[in-house]
Amino acid sequence: MAGWGRISGGDYIQIPWVRNPMKRLYPGIFSFHFRNLIYANGRNSSYLCFEVAGVQYYSSRTVSFHRGVFRNQVYENKSYHAELCFLSWFKANKLSPGEHYHVTWFLSWSPCARCAEEIANFLKQHRNVTLRVFAARLYYFWNPAFQQGLRKLRCLGAQVKVMSYHDFNYCWENFVYNRYMRFRCWKKVHRNYNFMSTRLEEILRNMSLLPEEIFYYQFGNQPRVSEPKGRRKTYLCYKLKLLDVTLEQGYFKNKKKSHAEICFIDKICSLDLDQTQRYKIICYVTWSPCAHCAEKLVAFIDDHPHLSLQVFTSRLYVHWRWVNQHGLRQLWKSNIPVLAMTEPEFTDCWKNFVDNQERPFEPWEKLKQHSDKVKRRLQKILKINTIDLFSEQSSEEIRDLNNLVDAVRNLNLDAHDPHY
């Protein structure tokens, strides 16, 4: 017995009698519970076949390997899904901060909404664990709550896929008492795989993502557009990170009574983040903040010293007005750098916030020239009253603002990180 399982948020999931994993499954159990039916009535148990490879940080050498099977466990008329049983056993028996772990799951059902939340909390707390999930069937794939759970796992870096014929064959060879018999697949295995794979792709692709045409129109840094689509609005895409883990991401657009920046502030405040941690937020905006929003952002960061905020803007909002210029300078003075979006930032925004159908970002004509123009205007604004902007330094100590902007831009490492 593995004992109690501490899983999320410092709280204990009460699984007093977590059994150690089984080595393998009997062929009939595997064929019945892992059959990839679209609607599998009567299959109320969940099975989880797992592999855990522990790798040393500095030598990249595999130092431990574990394989086994968990299923639902019932204690005092309460059922605990296989995912929670694995996490409890793993934390209590195998998890060590000195190793990096590659965990692979083969599930008879994809995680439910509650399990997805627990898995997400686990991944947030343990950056030394990477997770791959292969599901034979999608659990309540039409339910928005279950869809959101899968998207949350995807946002935290977990791979979520549907089991193919090759995955079933792999499980048969490694997790089933097969008596050296070859795997014989059931009818419609390929057709059902194609159906569920398409559904999963649609679920993961619809992570509150921007349509391509909206991105190109709203984030395009051309000073004018010829399409008769009306005025371009403010869109704000944000990414909340703890070290190298993305905890939350999404986008807002202007509402009638609330600018996108205000919606963003309300969202971050609602997360109730741990004030003992240092979080980094990167924002991509179509228009730089107006004077009112700049004031709100400054007050927000002043009230939350555990947050650092970096803003990339496609265009400058009414930059010729002194009040908006003053707002931009106040942001810099409060350590909230506002930088012009260049091709790396547009590419990062495209990858993370656009329903891109896995197509690469295609820059529009004169993107670089428009970015350079926005950058020069922004630098000209920030050079005004530079001594006031950095009042603690003398004018002789103030370096050229171009170098400062480049240095701040280099802090945005994840825009160039291939992991994102």
Say if 5-205 and 212-415 have the same CATH topology: yes
Find the distance separating the first CA and the last CA of the chain, reported in whole Å.
39
* CA 395 vs CA 28, 228, 383, 390: distances in Å: 79, 48, 12, 9
Instruction: Give the CA angle between residues 202, 116, 88 to the nearest 5°.
Output: 150
Average pLDDT in the 28-53 region?
90
pLDDT tens, residue by residue, 335-366: 999 999 999 999 999 988 887 777 899 999 99
- Only one residue has tokens 């799951």, namely 105
At the topology level, CATH places domain 212-415 in: Cytidine Deaminase; domain 2 (3.40.140)
Q: Among 261, 343, 358, 396, which one carries the catalytic annotation?
A: 261
Give Cα 15 distance to the centre of its chain.
29
* CA 114 vs CA 44, 79, 83, 155, 273: distances in Å: 16, 13, 10, 16, 20
Q: Break the chain into its structural domains and give their ranges.
A: 5-205, 212-415
Q: Is 261 a catalytic residue?
A: yes
pLDDT tens, residue by residue, 278-298: 999 999 999 999 999 999 999
Which residue would you say has higher pLDDT here, 356 or 309? 309
Start-end of H helices in 70-112: 82-93
Do residues 98 and 87 lie in contact, with contact meaning Cβ atoms separated by under 8 Å?
Answer: no
Helices (H) and strands (E) in the chain, counts: 14, 14
- Superfamily designation of domain 5-205: Cytidine Deaminase, domain 2 (3.40.140.10)
What does pTM read for this prediction? 0.54
